[in-house]
């Protein structure tokens, strides 16, 4: 059964490989996926290590429900200390790698040390080998996967890095397939620092389902419900690109870095234009939505793009060319670099160029002007290969600003050294709190109460957010309000952690729709597929335990309340565009501090954001690191 999948410790320095079963006690405390990864990260690293040194670990995992009869159970999670922020490094991707690794007998791989020469890891039906990867070094992510499929068979699944990871770009990603990207926090650079070009999996081992008839029936019921929602129907037609028309027309995106909150003349990058380039959609393992397009632009085939590509290569940099969005999406996948970070870094550089803080002398003559499509695409290449100004921008916000100087950091929109995506949270305090307190830095995938934007009636908010733990405070339907929002952020933290524990896609849970999977569904999926008896409240408690492990890691690395904060521009510069409901908005400093106080109290943390001894004892974390595994 799924509970029989193992963990492997791979020492790249010595070549030693040790495999172990995962004790049931550990499963019940951390379940798997992101949660168990956080436990392993906290227990297998020392404080203050160099994230790009051999003492860091790189952890690859499948969620506990991976490859089972559970909807969209495809997600791969990776963890390490982030070379971008120095905080928790954590990233998550869809595709087919996690199920393949599960069929190969493993749920978690822990890579330690550093190989002397480039290698790849071969995981095949209970066996693991470290193989020579010198012939792969220098290849793009796509060419790497093609070479390994030719070498090992078309059925293999590959996680790999591209030139950006080899060049230690601090926000390099890890790719599986055309489009599945583990982008945030620079895990591609960690693999590059260890000389690991790829991890390849092929498995034919059975995964026993504890109650197969009930599991199949329940999954069918859930998938029928999901596929019948308006959310799934529009996602299946346009993917996440559909979000752009709403957020931009409202005025909830940041354009020209952070100078405006709406891109004018944005019609050319609306989602409908994908119809001129697409020839069908595809989905991840076990998913009924099929949210990504297959497209051709300039004789180049790729998949996507996401809403993030529209932001990174559209409104953030002032471009309104759909082909630039498609080519930008292709290049970041090709070179292996995080689309959100690179979009924000380019927009920041363009504002610095506009203000004269950097000049043609710094850029080598590259005109970093708003709307310069050619400059955007060239800058992606320069960053990925660390050429020219790209070498500085490859370092991420804090290090790049330190090199540029001239008060340049004040123009960068980041939290904990990670750039924000292309949204503008000045009109939305709940979303602002979520990015400020995110454990891996500015984040929209770990705590964002996106349904707060829908002005849902209070009774529906109570139905969603009082399950399985009741909130005693007041809810409000106005996304500009501050009241009740800390609980919504905390609830979404637990929801997203729980969904990452089991390896299911966030688009199948309460994220962009209040009608999708919640803790009740996770409890039932675990029971039918694995036999684990965990109530919705039990699942919540595991998610809370794992989230506190992330917090403990960051505290150990020197992060605290001072880092749970937005840059000054959120408080000092009002929004300039959009509907009346969002125009002229800033975040109120005092109210925001009050939100953080309430958020800490709800978590059981002290006024500095440190989990109290009582909280750690309640969650069984008072003796961590425990080295149980």
Nearest Cα neighbor of 41 from 85, 80, 87, 83 is 80
Instruction: Please report, rounded to a whole number, the percentage of residues in the chain having pLDDT higher than 70.
Output: 100
Nearest Cα neighbor of 142 from 329, 349, 333 is 333
In the structure encoding, which two tokens stand for residue 347, read together? 């927009």
Q: Please report where in the chains the tokens 């409901």 appear, as a residue.
A: 581
| pLDDT over 80 at 2, yes or no | no
Q: How far apart are CA 292 and CA 284, in angstroms?
A: 9
Strand positions, DSSP E, 136-242 = 157-160, 174-176, 180-182, 196-202
In the structure encoding, which two tokens stand for residue 592, read together? 């925001």
In the structure encoding, which two tokens stand for residue 562, read together? 């001072």
| pLDDT over 80 at 409, yes or no | yes
Task: Give the pLDDT confidence score for residue 1 in this predicted structure.
Answer: 65
In the structure encoding, which two tokens stand for residue 303, read together? 């998949």
Digit-coded pLDDT (tens) for 521-530: 999 999 999 9
Q: How far apart are CA 521 and CA 487, in angstroms?
A: 21
Q: How far apart are CA 230 and CA 527, in angstroms?
A: 29
Q: How far apart are CA 337 and CA 162, in angstroms?
A: 8
**Where are the domain boundaries for CATH 3.60.9.10 in the chain?**
1-210+425-629
Tell me if the bond preceding 347 is cis, omega within 30° of 0.
Answer: no
Instruction: At 330, give phi and psi (nearest 5°).
Output: -65, -45
Count of Cβ atoms closer than 10 Å to residue 168 Cβ: 18
Digit-coded pLDDT (tens) for 528-575: 999 999 999 999 999 999 999 999 999 999 999 999 999 999 999 999
Instruction: Let me know how many helices (H) and strands (E) the chain has, helices first.
Output: 24, 17
Digit-coded pLDDT (tens) for 503-537: 999 999 999 999 999 999 999 999 999 999 999 99
Which one is the CATH code of 228-419: 1.10.569.10, 1.20.80.30, 1.10.3470.10, 2.40.30.10?
1.10.569.10
| pLDDT over 90 at 599, yes or no | yes
Task: Give the pLDDT confidence score for residue 69 in this predicted structure.
Answer: 87
| pLDDT over 80 at 184, yes or no | yes
Q: Which range, of 117-126, 192-201, 290-299, averages the lowest pLDDT? A: 290-299
Arch. (CATH architecture) of 1-210+425-629:
4-Layer Sandwich (3.60)
Digit-coded pLDDT (tens) for 11-51: 999 999 999 999 999 999 999 999 999 999 999 999 999 99
Q: What is the pTM of this model?
A: 0.97
**Where are the domain boundaries for CATH 1.10.569.10 in the chain?**
228-419
Instruction: At 296, give phi and psi (nearest 5°).
Output: -125, 130
Q: Please report where in the chains the tokens 């890579």 appear, as a residue.
A: 111
Digit-coded pLDDT (tens) for 238-293: 999 999 989 999 999 999 999 999 999 999 999 999 999 999 999 999 999 999 99
């Amino acid at each position: 059964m799924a509970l029989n999948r193992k963990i492997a410790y791979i020492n790249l320095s010595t070549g030693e490989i040790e495999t172990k079963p995962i004790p049931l006690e550990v499963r019940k405390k951390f379940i798997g996926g992101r949660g168990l990864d956080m436990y392993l990260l906290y227990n297998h690293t020392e404080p203050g290590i160099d994230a790009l040194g051999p003492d860091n670990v790189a952890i690859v995992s499948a969620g506990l429900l991976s490859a089972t009869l559970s909807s969209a159970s495809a997600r791969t999670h990776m963890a390490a200390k982030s070379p971008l922020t120095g905080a928790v490094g954590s990233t998550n991707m869809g595709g087919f790698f996690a199920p393949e690794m599960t069929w190969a007998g493993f749920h978690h791989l822990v890579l330690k040390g550093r190989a002397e020469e480039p290698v790849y890891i071969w995981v095949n039906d209970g066996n693991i080998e470290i193989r020579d990867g010198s012939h792969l070094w220098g290849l793009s992510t796509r060419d790497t996967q093609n070479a390994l499929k030719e070498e090992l068979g078309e059925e293999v699944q590959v996680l790999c890095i591209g030139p950006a990871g080899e060049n230690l770009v601090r926000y390099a990603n890890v790719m599986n397939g055309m489009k599945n990207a583990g982008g945030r926090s620079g895990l591609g650079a960690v693999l590059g620092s260890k000389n690991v070009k790829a991890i390849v999996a092929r498995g034919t081992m059975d995964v026993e389902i504890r109650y197969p008839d009930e599991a199949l029936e329940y999954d069918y019921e859930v998938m029928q419900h999901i596929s019948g929602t308006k959310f799934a129907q529009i996602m299946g037609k346009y993917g996440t690109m559909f979000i752009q028309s709403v957020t931009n027309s409202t005025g909830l995106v940041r354009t020209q870095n952070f100078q405006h909150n709406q891109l004018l003349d944005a019609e050319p990058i609306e989602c409908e234009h994908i119809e001129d380039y697409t020839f069908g959609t595809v989905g991840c393992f076990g998913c009924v939505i099929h949210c990504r397009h297959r497209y051709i632009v300039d004789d180049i085939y790729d998949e996507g793009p996401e809403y993030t590509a529209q932001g990174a290569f559209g409104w953030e940099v002032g471009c309104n060319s759909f082909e630039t969005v498609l080519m930008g999406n292709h290049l970041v996948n090709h070179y292996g670099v995080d689309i959100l970070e690179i979009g924000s870094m380019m927009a920041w550089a363009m504002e610095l160029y506009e203000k004269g803080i950097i000049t043609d002398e710094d850029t080598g003559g590259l005109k970093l002007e708003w709307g310069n499509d050619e400059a955007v695409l060239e800058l992606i290449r320069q960053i990925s290969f660390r050429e020219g100004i790209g070498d500085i921008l490859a370092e991420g916000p804090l290090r790049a600003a330190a090199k540029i100087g001239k008060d340049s950091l004040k123009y960068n929109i980041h939290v904990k050294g990670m750039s924000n995506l292309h949204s503008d949270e000045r009109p939305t305090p709940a979303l602002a709190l979520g990015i400020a307190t995110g454990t891996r830095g500015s984040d929209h995938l770990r705590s964002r109460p996106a349904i707060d934007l829908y002005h849902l009636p209070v009774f529906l908010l109570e139905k969603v957010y009082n399950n399985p733990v009741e909130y005693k405070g007041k809810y409000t339907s106005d996304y500009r309000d501050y009241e009740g929002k800390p609980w919504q952020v905390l609830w979404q933290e637990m929801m997203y952690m729980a969904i990452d524990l089991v390896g299911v896609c966030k688009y199948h849970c309460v994220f962009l729709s209040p009608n999708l999977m919640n803790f009740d569904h996770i409890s039932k999926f675990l029971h039918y597929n694995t036999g684990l008896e965990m109530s919705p409240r039990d699942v919540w408690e595991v998610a809370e335990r794992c989230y506190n492990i992330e917090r403990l890691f960051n505290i150990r690395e020197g992060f605290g309340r001072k880092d749970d904060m937005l840059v000054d521009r959120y408080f000092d510069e009002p929004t300039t565009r959009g509907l009346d409901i969002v125009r002229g908005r800033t975040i109120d400093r005092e109210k925001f501090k009050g939100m953080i106080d309430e958020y800490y109290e709800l978590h059981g943390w002290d006024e500095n954001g440190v989990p109290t001894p009582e909280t750690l004892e309640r969650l069984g974390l008072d003796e961590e690191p425990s080295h149980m595994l």
